[in-house]
Chain A
């Protein structure tokens, strides 16, 4: 795989559903993959759904169970709006090689970003498409960068084969040519991409998407615990001895039972004794 020499550790393989969803939504990307992958490479599974009309049901919860990431590809203004405002997806992936009649508007995309949905910029078609596709993509990408002010964007390849994948710093440079600052560009490859993956995982696994037990620790077995306490008991006298010796060397020793109580404490003791009805034998509690 190219991704490792180029420098990616996590990649997502995409399965695209066009038209109506089939009844069986089980992930069509085999797990584990039929070929060997490098040890450090983590492969995620992602699906694209085409939003053709906003009325139909996309069974997104079912998709979320089967895939690591769910991305939606709106085809017109209306579906883009529904994707931004209501659909429970992870990524909005707009086909940037098309020409759109209307501009992207911040309120619409802003709601999506505030809901934690990321907007995807795919550079792949610009590298492998024709001149018109490249022109449209650059136009749309700069528009998106301007409208979103560089927030909530992830940069991805949409590569059909390894040749369309470019190295991270090449992408950051490309984005900075398109008007996205290099810091934002780096975020788009690292922070935002990670956040979308983790957010999707939390949605899938955790309690109401909020609480997740990462590692609850292990309960020590009773035998082990017993052994530990024994050890502690054994260790204690030794410890005391050491302490005593230390105090001999450094500080004046105060024997227990001597008058080393403050006046306030003495008063308190007296009061307690009186209250308890003088049934004690008069020893001072240490």
Chain B
């Protein structure tokens, strides 16, 4: 049987609310502030609506029609502001572009936001693994920022090594030919 091929976008919401000239809350590390929890009023329905409106705005009826069926929010965690969004494999770039053009959360909240895609995966399992890995990484870094003393040299080395990796910066994208199977190897 032929399966419908999808892509799963792992998405982070960043809240650059504070500027360097006016830091909002002292004592909280910068990193944690960026990865702030999303207000509870925002739910997956809102997220879907943002994406649909964005695709409609950028790609018109054609784009909206192509994306409409397969679009689904598989996972949404307001605490870490992370989501997994399913979209059709052929048109995941449209959804991604629509996410890039998001400026703020919808009307009642109106919070400025930057949405960042961190992983494009062919299977939901890999997407979930990525979410867990990211969450762990952020926790480790936030702890590192909190502790003033400790083994500074070791920490800085670990930090440097982690930041050197391009995969930390660039989202890993599964290409069309290579994956979509359950047996896909995520370490490409």
Q: Indicate with 1 or 0, residue by residue over A145-159, a CB within 8 angstroms of chain B CB atoms.
A: 000000000000000
- Given the interface pairs A2-B16, A163-B16, the reply to whether A7 lies near B100 with Cβ below 8 Å is no
B45-53, B112-120, B123-131, B177-185 - the one binding chain A: B112-120
Of B16, B117, B160, which one neighbours A162 at CB under 8 angstroms? Answer: B16
Interface positions, chain B 111-168, Cβ under 8 Å from A, are 112, 114, 116-117, 160, 163, 168
Nearest neighbor of A171 in chain B, beta-carbon distance: B100
Whether B100 pairs with A170 at a CB distance below 8 angstroms is: yes
A182–B96 Cα distance when bound, in Å, is 14
Q: Which residues of B contact A40 (CB under 8 A)?
A: 160, 163
A244 an interface residue at 8 Å Cβ cutoff?
no
Of B34, B93, B97, B101, which one neighbours A5 at CB under 8 angstroms? Answer: B34
A61-69, A173-181, A206-214, A261-269 - the one binding chain B: A173-181
How many chain B residues sit at the interface, stated as a range, is 20 to 34
Q: Indicate with 1 or 0, residue by residue over A24-46, a CB within 8 angstroms of chain B CB atoms.
A: 00000000000110001000000
Q: Which residues of A contact B101 (CB under 8 A)?
A: 126-127
Query: How many whole Å from A159's CB to the nearest CB in chain B?
Result: 11
Q: Which of A171, A174, A186 has the most CB of B within 10 A?
A: A174
Whether A163 pairs with B163 at a CB distance below 8 angstroms is: no
- Given the interface pairs A5-B35, A7-B168, A169-B117, the reply to whether A35 lies near B96 with Cβ below 8 Å is no
A7–B168 Cα distance when bound, in Å, is 8
Q: Which residues of B contact A272 (CB under 8 A)?
A: none
A165–B16 Cα distance when bound, in Å, is 10
Q: Which residues of B contact A7 (CB under 8 A)?
A: 168-170
A83–B168 Cα distance when bound, in Å, is 38
B94 an interface residue at 8 Å Cβ cutoff?
yes
Of B31, B103, B117, B168, which one neighbours A127 at CB under 8 angstroms? Answer: B103
Query: How many whole Å from A7's CB to the nearest CB in chain B?
Result: 4
A174–B162 Cα distance when bound, in Å, is 26
Q: Which residues of B contact A177 (CB under 8 A)?
A: 93-94, 97
Whether B97 pairs with A6 at a CB distance below 8 angstroms is: no
Whether B16 pairs with A167 at a CB distance below 8 angstroms is: no
A110 an interface residue at 8 Å Cβ cutoff?
no
B14 an interface residue at 8 Å Cβ cutoff?
yes
Q: Which residues of A contact B20 (CB under 8 A)?
A: 1, 35-36
Interface positions, chain B 1-47, Cβ under 8 Å from A, are 14, 16, 19-21, 30-31, 34-35
Whether B93 pairs with A6 at a CB distance below 8 angstroms is: no
Whether A174 pairs with B34 at a CB distance below 8 angstroms is: no
Q: Which residues of A contact B19 (CB under 8 A)?
A: 161-162
Query: How many whole Å from B103's CB to the nearest CB in chain A?
Result: 7
Query: How many whole Å from B8's CB to the nearest CB in chain A?
Result: 15
Nearest neighbor of A127 in chain B, beta-carbon distance: B101
A116 an interface residue at 8 Å Cβ cutoff?
no
Whether A167 pairs with B34 at a CB distance below 8 angstroms is: no
Whether A127 pairs with B112 at a CB distance below 8 angstroms is: no
Query: How many whole Å from A228's CB to the nearest CB in chain B?
Result: 31
Query: How many whole Å from B23's CB to the nearest CB in chain A?
Result: 9
B105 an interface residue at 8 Å Cβ cutoff?
no
Whether A6 pairs with B100 at a CB distance below 8 angstroms is: no
A128 an interface residue at 8 Å Cβ cutoff?
yes
Query: How many whole Å from B64's CB to the nearest CB in chain A?
Result: 15
Whether B169 pairs with A166 at a CB distance below 8 angstroms is: no
Nearest neighbor of A169 in chain B, beta-carbon distance: B171
Whether B21 pairs with A6 at a CB distance below 8 angstroms is: no
- Given the interface pairs A7-B168, A173-B100, A174-B100, the reply to whether A35 lies near B14 with Cβ below 8 Å is no
Q: Which residues of A contact B103 (CB under 8 A)?
A: 127-128, 163
A186–B31 Cα distance when bound, in Å, is 26
A254–B176 Cα distance when bound, in Å, is 70
Whether B170 pairs with A169 at a CB distance below 8 angstroms is: yes
Query: How many whole Å from A188's CB to the nearest CB in chain B?
Result: 13
Q: Which of A1, A127, A167 has the most CB of B within 10 A?
A: A167
Interface positions, chain A 1-22, Cβ under 8 Å from B, are 1-2, 4-7, 9
Nearest neighbor of A37 in chain B, beta-carbon distance: B20
Q: Which residues of A contact B160 (CB under 8 A)?
A: 40
- Given the interface pairs A127-B103, A168-B169, A186-B170, the reply to whether A174 lies near B116 with Cβ below 8 Å is no
Q: What are the nearest 9 A-B pairs in CB distance?
A: A7-B169, A169-B171, A2-B16, A35-B20, A162-B16, A167-B116, A170-B100, A5-B34, A173-B96
